[in-house]
Amino acid sequence: MPHAITFVIATLCILVICYRLYGVFFTRTVLGCNDKDETPSHSLQDGKDYVPTRKWVNFGQHFAAIAAAGPLVGPVLAAQFGYLPSILWLLIGAVVGGAVHDTVVLFASMKHQGKSLSEVAKAELGPIAGWCTGLAMLFIITITMAGLSMVVVHALERNPWGTFAVFMTIPIAICLGLFEKVFGATKYATYVGVAAVLACVFIGPSIQHSVFGQWLTFNATSVSLLLPIYAFFATALPVWLLLTPRGYLSSFMKIGVFGALIIGVVFINPEIRFPALTQFIHGGGPVLAGPVWPFISITIACGAISGFHAFIGSGITPKLVDKWSDVLPVGFGAMLAECVVGVMALIAATSLHPADYFAINSSPEAFKALGMSVVNLPQLSQEIGMDLYGRTGGAVTLAVGMSYIFTKISWFNHLAAYFFQFVVMFEAVFILTAVDSGTRVARYLIQDFGGDFYAPLKRLDWMPGAIGASLLACALWGYLLTSGDIGSVWALFGVSNQLMASVGLIIGATIILRISAKRRYALTCLIPLAYLYVTVNYAGYWMVTHVYLNPAAKGHNMFNAAISIVMLILGAVILVSAVIKWKELLARHPRSQRALHTASARA
């Protein structure tokens, strides 16, 4: 069996070479990034939204925004197929697709003064494509909330220790927000906040079997109902009171988890227990029902290529880029760094014995049908102090995998339960932060679309409209959360996410055709677009016909089928609009096209 260090060294070498060669070529030659040109952060500088920021600071905030729970969960679920499909898709997808997508979306947004992707689509492809992109973004952000929330449902189910630790981050963050609002930001407040969060993990065992612990013991249905209720009330609070301070505190947890993951993989160097390919590559697996293709490419999104990154790349980040050359480390580099995180998560999952992995990540009935016998799971359950069987969603599998790696250290056995709950809290807090901000974005999009029919809805400060839009957003993703299992909901998330990535590559190809001196450079976007568009449409068709419209399937759901079909239609409309635009651009004389680009750049 191979060892983890082999994958780590190979991954780092490949990504460094690709960054130095392909990344530099793409940003300098294809996109023509030139530091003599002024960026929006300087031309529109206002000290609030448009602020020139040092490249590594901007890299840090951009990486923190894109590398949430996605790169940790997708590879864990895709481990069902074996380590080979996942590692290949992570590396090839990140270099050829994800890094190109993130870089070109960031570049396109900067060319349009830091506007959102829907506004860029409207400017580049026309109003119909812009409207369809905006509607697709609403669908995607709604489905994303359900997909991410599904990850932690079974992690907090019957887990009062974890529920307590996650719940306590709310009052801790509120206290930190109030303190900084009154007295200003201080490092001592940060120290106290981080210490309080860690203390909640260590206090957990004392409340686990108490009356208070019984109150915090919820089943999966209760957790699924509480999450959208929480989101509705959380979005009513000012961002400085909960969202910002908790996101700040969670960044320290992210550093701790990522650091522990890297240390465990590199220095302990666990053995990879999974085969290169499993018997489920043709479909019928207990985690994911479909075959390895197209499901590997929609299960692993963050870490390879993810349309959700377009929300960040056309949101905050383009307003902060100091120089055009910073697009390389911020856009291209951050995506490759996220790929490393995905590879580490894959190693953590595949270091478990396959029988232990499937016992955690599938229902008891499905695991019994496999005819496997667990190996280390009973001992791990005892050390962690929790029943680990049937906790689907990926979060528990990752936490168990990381804990198992560290059990190779003799003294760690006494800390396994604390480390496990810390990782669960990290994932849950990140997802709750994403749910908070994502529900706000969905509310804005609903009000924007509704405002076309009833003008007062356009006003974000109109309380009835804000409350109604928040209720609708929470009800939509809350319904999706309770309407299926991780296999069907995560697949729906994957299809919508990769459809958004296709839209980003479509806009990227359009931009390159318009500004580049050599039209063949558009192939940098068209090649990954061709693969991704075919993949996402086939995956959507497979899920609709085999699952959502199949009464015998566990994920049978007419609503999910309708959403999938509408999204695929929106993607087709955007592609048709793009093809019409591409024909127009290709019909232009190359010299006149370059002259037009030079004139627009000077303007």
pLDDT category of residue 601 using cuts at 50, 70 and 90 = very low
What is the structure's pLDDT at 55?
A: 85
Token representation of residue 356: 């232990």
What is the structure's pLDDT at 589?
A: 54
DSSP states of 451-478 as a string?
A: TTTSGGGG-TT-HHHHHHHHHHHHHHHH
The answer to whether 240 touches 181, Cβ cutoff 8 Å, is yes
> 3-state SS of the chain: helix, strand, coil percent to 5?
75, 0, 25
pLDDT category of residue 165 using cuts at 50, 70 and 90 = confident
Task: Please compute the mean of the pLDDT values over residues 65-74 and round it to a whole number.
Answer: 78
CA–CA separation, 283 and 310 (whole Å)? 31
Give the tens place of pLDDT for each residue, 410-438. 777 678 888 888 888 877 877 777 787 77
What is the structure's pLDDT at 599?
A: 47
In this predicted model, which residue has the larger pLDDT, 186 or 135?
Answer: 135
Neighbours of 348 (CB within 10 A): 28
What is the structure's pLDDT at 425?
A: 82
Interhelix angle 243-263/395-406, nearest 10 degrees:
40
With a CB cutoff of 8 Å and minimum separation 6, the contacts of 47 are none
Interhelix angle 70-78/292-299, nearest 10 degrees:
160
**Is pLDDT above 70 for 597?**
no
CA–CA separation, 100 and 331 (whole Å)? 8
Find the angle CA(465)-CA(471)-CA(475) to the nearest 5 degrees: 145
Most confident stretch, 76-85, 364-373, 384-393, 476-485:
76-85
**Is pLDDT above 70 for 592?**
no
6-10, 67-71, 364-368: least confident range: 67-71
Percent of the chain with pLDDT over 70: 96
Reference 145, options 479, 468, 446; nearest CA is 479
Most confident stretch, 56-60, 87-91, 249-253:
87-91
Token representation of residue 252: 């320290």
The answer to whether 493 touches 149, Cβ cutoff 8 Å, is no
What is the structure's pLDDT at 336?
A: 94
Neighbours of 203 (CB within 10 A): 14
pLDDT category of residue 87 using cuts at 50, 70 and 90 = very high
Percent of the chain with pLDDT over 90: 31
Looking at the DSSP assignment, which residues form a beta bridge with residue 159? none
Give the H/E segment covering residue 73: helix 70-78
pLDDT category of residue 590 using cuts at 50, 70 and 90 = low
**Is pLDDT above 90 for 398?**
no
CA–CA separation, 308 and 327 (whole Å)? 18
What is the structure's pLDDT at 93?
A: 95
CA distances to 56, 62, 251, 288, 406 from 16, rounded to whole Å, are: 17, 19, 25, 32, 28
**Upper half-sphere CA count for residue 28 (Cβ side, 13 Å):** 9
Q: How far is CA 161 from the centre of its chain?
A: 26
CA–CA separation, 186 and 24 (whole Å)? 39
Task: Please compute the mean of the pLDDT values over residues 47-51 and round it to a whole number.
Answer: 77
DSSP states of 157-219 as a string?
A: TT-HHHHHHHHHHHHHHHHHHHHHHHH---HHHHHHHHHHHHHHHHHHHHHHTSHHHHHT---
Task: Please compute the mean of the pLDDT values over residues 480-501 and round it to a whole number.
Answer: 83
Mean of per-residue pLDDT scores for the chain:
86
What letters, b where the CB count within 10 A reaches 16 and e where it falls short, cover 101-138? bbbbbbbbbbbbebbbbbbbbbbbbeeebbbbbbbbbb
Give the tens place of pLDDT for each residue, 176-210. 888 888 887 677 888 888 899 888 888 888 887 78
CATH number at 4-158+218-602: 1.20.1740.10
What is the structure's pLDDT at 603?
A: 43
242-251, 347-356, 554-563: least confident range: 242-251
Looking at the DSSP assignment, which residues form a beta bridge with residue 271? 3
